[in-house]
Amino acid sequence: MQLQLSKNKKAQALQSLTTTSPREVEARVLSSLESILNYKEELNPDFSVRGYKLVSKPKADELEKALNVMAFAMTPMPQEHMEQELLKCMMVMVKPSQESKEDIAMRIRLIARGLSDYPADIFLYAVKSVSHTKTFFPSLSEFRDAGEWRYQKRVKLLDMIQNATKR
């Protein structure tokens, strides 16, 4: 079982993810998965999520439904849209001195590629967070720092489901 959406479903996912906050998406994902699967959240001593564990073995159709929920929630933004959002972000920051238009274009393209695994809502959240907290255009790692914990929570949910499909 793979994470694949039809072209129509992918467009719906992008529409939803680009207009909804990661917190809202996460709440919907957790609610949907709770209605499909019997699992528990495992926490670290600092109450961060260590992972998710199935309590009972799900049926094949339940796994398929859960994978569809995750496919929807993990839909990335197209590269060209990511680059446009990064350019907007850069426009409200101090431009690095001595950087040519080509350098800027390459930096934006590489950062977009470096964030291409992020779902659209988390990517937008990271860009917004950076644009509100940084003066100078940041590195890839600063964008990842802004969205990584939200992304990792979804990855852990997805891992739980994919591991169950291997059994």
Contacts of 77-81 spanning 24+ positions with Cβ under 8 A: 77/14, 77/17, 77/18, 77/120, 77/123, 77/124, 78/14, 79/112, 79/113, 79/116
Q: What is the pLDDT of residue 2?
A: 53
pLDDT number for residue 1: 44
Residue ranges of the chain with pLDDT lower than 50? 1
Q: What is the pLDDT of residue 18?
A: 95
pTM, two decimals, is: 0.92
User: How high is the pLDDT of residue 4?
Assistant: 79
Compute the distance between CA of residue 59 and CA of residue 36 in angstroms, rounded to an integer. Answer: 10
pLDDT per position as a tens digit, 13-26: 999 999 999 999 99
Residue 97 has a pLDDT of 79
